[in-house]
Amino acid sequence: MHELSIAMSIVEMAQEEALHSSYEMACDDTPLRGSRLVIEDVPVVIFCPHCKAQRPLSSIQLFCCAECGTPTSEIVHGKELEVVALEIQ
């Protein structure tokens, strides 16, 4: 499992870097050229049908309640994609 967590960290870093690169390309030839993208990770929270409560996710691969291990696909938080702030100087 340790190797899996290392691999997941590498994938996460690669995805974030790919997003930064895509953002830079999308901003090219626009007034946002040279702007900086800051990504804030939001932890995934699911609704557990067994606990009947919102719970953190045990693992992104298993998608189970961290408290009781019940599988669920009902995501409460963690799918958000929103612009929180835009600073202009």
Pick out residues in 5-44 that bind Zn ion (CB under 5 A). none
In the bound complex, what is the minimum distance in angstroms from residue 65's beta carbon to Zn ion? 3
- Nearest CA-CA partner of 62 in 71, 54, 53: 71
How far apart (Å, rounded) are the C-alpha atoms in residues 34 and 80?
A: 25
How far apart (Å, rounded) are the C-alpha atoms in residues 38 and 15?
A: 14
Q: Which is nearer to Zn ion, 50 or 77 (CB)?
A: 50
Pick out residues in 56-75 that bind Zn ion (CB under 5 A). 65, 67-68, 70
Q: CA 43, 21, 87: angle at the middle one, nearest 5?
A: 70
The only residue of 46, 48, 57, 58 in contact with Zn ion, by rule CB under 5 A: 48
Q: Which is nearer to Zn ion, 2 or 52 (CB)?
A: 52
Residue ranges binding Zn ion (CB under 5 A):
48, 50-51, 65, 67-68, 70
